[in-house]
Amino acid sequence: MRHLELDFQRRRIASPMGWGLLAAGLLVSALTLLEHLHLAEQTALRAGELRHIEGLLQAGGVALAPLSAGESRAQAASLAEMRRLSAQMKLPWDALFTTLESLQRQDIALLSLAPDARKGQLRIAAEARDLQAMLVFHRSLEQSAELRDVSLLNHEVVSQVAERPIRFNLLATWEVKDARP
């Protein structure tokens, strides 16, 4: 016997709302495509203008406006500052810090380091437990490969503290052997 199929209520394939959504989607897609084509045309136009202007600049067809005296001085000062910073960045800072960290610093506390890359000098402020520790630290700095001409600028006994430590300042010449070009 054959399978019998009864359909008392016929289903619609699509509702008016579905057809409306489909139409709205197609309209939005068409508008998006038109906008994309317009932007692509504008981009191509601007790229052509850019190539033309770059050609003029490379050929020297466009003369630069002369700078005023104030602008020229400001530009020269800015250039000098950039060169100074570039020179400082090329120095081997890691070698200096490795040297300072590898020194025997028993009974010594480093308070501050003030490197002057332009002059090639390093100012060290430190505190020693006693005079002997200060002198040993001074000798070890003189024997290091990175520092030369280590000199004691000043020292004072801190009488407010019970242990009476010695605060001192050293100035050393920082020899740069392998700076990056």
Q: What whole-number distance in Å separates Cα of residue 2 and Cα of residue 110? A: 102
The pLDDT score that the predictor gives to residue 126 is 93
pLDDT exceeds cutoff 60 at 157? yes
Q: Where are the domains of the chain?
A: 16-62, 91-174
pLDDT digits (tens, 9 = 90+) for 30-49: 999 999 999 999 999 999 99
In what order do the strands lie in the sheet containing 108-116? 108-116, 121-128, 166-174, 147-157
pLDDT digits (tens, 9 = 90+) for 8-38: 777 777 888 989 999 999 999 999 999 999 9
Q: What is the residue type of 24? A: A
Q: Which fold has domain 91-174?
A: Gyrase A; domain 2 (3.30.1360)
* Helix (H/G/I), strand (E/B), else coil: 101: helix
Q: Which residue has the tokens 């530009």?
A: 75
Structure tokens at 4: 């019998």
pLDDT digits (tens, 9 = 90+) for 59-118: 765 556 677 888 888 888 999 988 877 877 777 778 888 888 888 777 899 999 888 877
Q: Are 113 and 171 in contact (CB under 8 A)?
A: no
The pLDDT score that the predictor gives to residue 94 is 80
